[in-house]
Structure 1
Amino acid sequence: MSKVVVFGANGQLGTCIKMLNGDNNLIYFPHEAEANILDVEVLTKVFAEQQPSYVINCAAYTAVDKAEDEVELAERVNVIGVKNLAEQCGQHGAVLIHVSTDFVFKGDVARPLTEADKAEPISVYGQTKLDGEKAAAAIEKHFVIRTGWLYSEHGNNFVKTMLRLGAERDEVRIIADQVGTPTYAIDLAAFILEIINRDSQAYGVYHYSNEGVTSWFDFARAVFDISETQVKAIPIRTDQYPTKATRPLYSVMDKSKVKETFSIEIPYWRDSLIKCITKLQQ
Structure 2
Amino acid sequence: MTADRLPVVFVHGLWLHADSWQPWVELFRDAGYDAQAPGWPGDSPTVEETRAHPDRVAGIGIDAVVEHYAGVLRGLGAPPVLVGHSFGGLIVQRLLGRDLAAAAVALDPAPIKGVLYLPPSSLRVASIALRNPANRGRAVALTREQFRYGFGNALPQRESDELYERWTIPSPGRPLFEAAAANLNPSSPAKVDTRNATRGPLLLTLGGKDHTVAPAIVRTTARLYRRSPAVTELRQYPDRGHSLGIDSGWRVVADDVLAWLKTQGF
Give the TM bin, normalised by the shorter chain.
Answer: 0.3 to 0.5
Q: Give 1 or 2 for the bigger CA radius of gyration.
A: 1
